[in-house]
Structure 1
Amino acid sequence: MKKTMIYTLLTIITLLAAAALYMTLHPVFGGNVSPEQKEQFAKLSNYADGKFVNQVPTQMDMNASNVWSMLKDSMSGAKDRNPAGQLPVVPIDWSKINSTEDSLTWFGHSAFLLSIDNKKLLVDPMLGPVASPVTFAGSKRYSENMLAVIDKLPPIDAVFITHDHYDHLDYPSIRKLKDKVQHFFVPLGVGVHLTRWGVAEERITELNWWDEMEYEGLTIALTPAKHFSGRGLFNKDTTLWGGWVILGKETRFYTSGDGGYDAHFKEIGQRYGPFDIALIEGGQYDRRWSWVHMTPEEAVQAHNDVNGRNMMLIHWGAFTLAYHGWTEPIERAVAAADQAKVKLIAPPIGETIQLVGELAPSHSSWWKSALER
């Protein structure tokens, strides 16, 4: 009996050591913030005890009851958590993308190609097949592999990353993109992942909340969000998270990044609103992590708080990360937007929207017929 217990313990220790070694050596997990960086971060008001913190103290309530209920949900799950088949992607109109007109193209989840003042910008370009550090586990993309899109993209003036989670910062996408991107803008600390993946330090700019700068005629700023970060077991909250404001001559753009609802949205609206279009997350919600992701109804309220003129719901349409049906977020958002008289734009994946003139609300419900084609 003792020998069996010893062998079992040794096996567990070996597996844990192998996993730790794998996480240390494999680049998909990114880099680690240096001691020198930590010393600089320690001077900031949103950093305490070696970690970044939210403006409002938050703590995920993962008690035994919640953990057990999540295990049950993962086995039974809600109805229609995934599409019945591969989700089609609208043929991309490259003439619109390459034009000088301000435009927006959605690639699913929180990945967008934005054209403002003829500057081509990518936001959270997660185009890989799985939101996970390994291909054999994690949520698979609903549609075809989007990595091939990168080969057809025009030269990219800048990439904007909201935080370092796998469904926003994707190793295969960055590796494939890096040589056609002029510059990367990231929250504090996130640059360590990019440098490990071969991006030169001089092509990376890190910002703290409310930091503002000019780039190629655009005004850009990192704004607060109520979320968290981390790509491994031991680096939770060692890098910052946030949303992005990008202001051009004709288009004022905002994306929330991931995060729960709170007072920071009104402050963003007061400082930078109104926005011609606001991309608000509201697609991976759950009562057990209500502080970290908004419901669709909260997303509509956040849109009003930031003083947006047109809204797009993001963080849905590509991966299953929560326990609700895959179309529930957009259906609830449409209902909430109608009630609040918010102009909600809901284009199919791959479609380019011209950001000129008055945008009409789009409730085509393409998600209902997408799998019937």
Structure 2
Amino acid sequence: MLKIFIQFAAVTAAAAAAVVNLHPGFGKSPGKMEQRRFDSLPNRQNGQFVNDTPLHRKLNPCDASSLIKDSLKRKEHRGPSHLIPVAASEWEQEDSITWLGHSAFYLNIAGVKMLLDPMFGPAPAPMPFLAGKRYTGSLLGKITELPEIDVVLLTHDHYDHLDYRSIRRLKEKVRRFVVPLGVGAHLRYWGVNAERISELNWHESASEQDITLTLTPSRHFSGRGVRNRNQTLWGGWVIASDNAKVYASGDGGYGEHFQTLGKQYGPFDLTLMEGGQYDDRWKSVHMRPEEAVQAHKDVCGNKLLLAHWAGFTLAFHSWEEPIERALHAAEQENVTLLTPEVGRTVPIHGAVSQQLRWWQKGNCENKKQM
């Protein structure tokens, strides 16, 4: 799995030079007292958080060999040939969502302004040279455009979702962070005051004005290196007001838990389903586009927005394959799939306007080279 390869490369580089070992981008694991408190929880075993359904993630020799071969192949079509343009955003539009590429979203629901997995950095690694470039280029400058943020929600601590540079630039304009258990250790290490951080276990909720924020299970894992695997929790989010309800799956493989979540928390006006950076060799922790469409149906969603694509190359498929496969599956299943450009603000309610297949050749206005 490329994400694991990136983590391995990051840790190897850190071991090679003491100065790199001190780089704050690696984050900080929860302390021993926190770990002991976590150990009494039902989703914790042998000092690690665990999934409701055990995962089979160990690569066999054939898989490991094929991964090495695939990694050495030419990367043609795995990323766009030009920078993806970023549309102008409408931050003040109520009951709306703005996709910022990959799994980063800005939500304005009932006037509460939220960011989900605000990874604005140039690359999914503690140091940019360790990973491929963002398809839009760095979005760190876009942080200055943002209004004051009421809540930042995080799904887990992987580099493509939790970014040191982004948090450092955001922290002074964010009132509160609501995160899975243990993720607060990274934030505190990066200068976020502990009083502004709420940490939740699965099915626990926090309130923000008229919004209820509930952390839900997903089939995934956590860690920013090879020695701190699953020390922090992962999950998805239910974001609910009286007038709008959104479900964000977070990263994770397909499973029966989606039907359970639909019965417990659905229906949803909008779902944000992970459906990119997939491969049969890591299907237990990342959904394929067709599974994302099925998961949307399982949780009783109305509109669907595909996440985890058009940001970074973390798998071997072409960069536009996820949305094309999702569109085909959505048409077959009579699902409304939104396809906004990166940066475009769309309403959660109401009719869907005509959508441009902006990722196709000829629809990209920005011709700046990657």
SS at match of 1:330: helix
- Tell me how far apart the structure 2 counterparts of residues 237 and 62 of structure 1 sit (CA, whole Å): 18
Of 27, 30, 41 in structure 2, the residue corresponding to residue 30 of structure 1 is: 27
Instruction: Give matches, 1:122-137, under 5 Å.
Output: 122-137=115-130
RMSD: 1.6
Q: Is the 8 A contact 1:317 1:326 kept in 2?
A: yes
Of 238, 253, 267 in structure 2, the residue corresponding to residue 245 of structure 1 is: 238
Equivalent residue letter for 1:183: R
Larger radius of gyration between Structure 1 and Structure 2: 1
Of 283, 291, 296 in structure 2, the residue corresponding to residue 290 of structure 1 is: 283
Query: Over residues 203-229 of structure 1, what are the superposed CA-to-partner deviations in whole Å (9 max), with x where a residue is unaligned?
Result: 000000111232212111000000000
- Tell me how far apart the structure 1 counterparts of residues 19 and 39 of structure 2 sit (CA, whole Å): 30
SS at match of 1:321: coil
Of 160, 169, 174 in structure 2, the residue corresponding to residue 167 of structure 1 is: 160
CA drift of 1:249 comes to 2.2
Q: Is the 8 A contact 1:139 1:320 kept in 2?
A: yes
Is residue 98 of structure 1 aligned with residue 92 of structure 2? yes
What is aligned with 2:57?
A: 60
- Tell me how far apart the structure 2 counterparts of residues 254 and 262 of structure 1 sit (CA, whole Å): 16
Equivalent residue letter for 2:70: D
- Tell me how far apart the structure 2 counterparts of residues 122 and 89 of structure 1 sit (CA, whole Å): 17
Q: Is the 8 A contact 1:23 1:232 kept in 2?
A: no
Query: Over residues 319-357 of structure 1, what are the superposed CA-to-partner deviations in whole Å (9 max), with x where a residue is unaligned?
Result: 00000000000000000000000010010001100223x
Q: Is the 8 A contact 1:87 1:370 kept in 2?
A: no
Equivalent residue letter for 1:365: R
Equivalent residue letter for 1:25: L
CA drift of 1:61 comes to 3.0
CA drift of 1:19 comes to 3.8
Deviates more, 1:109-118 or 1:141-150: 141-150
Equivalent residue letter for 1:224: P
Is residue 331 of structure 1 aligned with residue 328 of structure 2? no
Q: Against the structure 1 CA distance between its residues 17 and 262, is the aligned structure 2 distance closer, same or farther, given a 3 Å change threshold?
A: closer
Query: Over residues 17-63 of structure 1, what are the superposed CA-to-partner deviations in whole Å (9 max), with x where a residue is unaligned?
Result: 84484565221011111111111111111100010001101121312
Is residue 119 of structure 1 aligned with residue 112 of structure 2? yes
What is aligned with 1:346?
A: 339
Of 20, 23, 45 in structure 1, the residue corresponding to residue 42 of structure 2 is: 45
What is aligned with 2:84?
A: 87
Of 211, 216, 235 in structure 1, the residue corresponding to residue 209 of structure 2 is: 216
Of 69, 74, 90 in structure 1, the residue corresponding to residue 66 of structure 2 is: 69
The unaligned stretches of length 5 or more in structure 1 are 1-14
TM-score, length basis structure 1: 0.91
Aligned length: 354
SS at match of 2:207: strand
Deviates more, 1:36-45 or 1:341-350: 36-45
SS at match of 2:85: coil
Is residue 155 of structure 1 aligned with residue 162 of structure 2? no
Q: Is the 8 A contact 1:344 1:363 kept in 2?
A: no
What is aligned with 2:222?
A: 229
- Tell me how far apart the structure 1 counterparts of residues 15 and 50 of structure 2 sit (CA, whole Å): 31
Equivalent residue letter for 2:115: L
Q: Against the structure 1 CA distance between its residues 372 and 149, is the aligned structure 2 distance closer, same or farther, given a 3 Å change threshold?
A: closer
Of 250, 254, 263 in structure 2, the residue corresponding to residue 261 of structure 1 is: 254
Q: Against the structure 1 CA distance between its residues 79 and 225, is the aligned structure 2 distance closer, same or farther, given a 3 Å change threshold?
A: same
Q: Against the structure 1 CA distance between its residues 361 and 310, is the aligned structure 2 distance closer, same or farther, given a 3 Å change threshold?
A: farther
Q: Against the structure 1 CA distance between its residues 17 and 338, is the aligned structure 2 distance closer, same or farther, given a 3 Å change threshold?
A: closer
Instruction: Give matches, 1:173-192, under 5 Å.
Output: 173-192=166-185
Deviates more, 1:229-238 or 1:15-24: 15-24
- Tell me how far apart the structure 2 counterparts of residues 366 and 317 of structure 1 sit (CA, whole Å): 11
TM-score, length basis structure 2: 0.92
- Tell me how far apart the structure 2 counterparts of residues 80 and 300 of structure 1 sit (CA, whole Å): 24
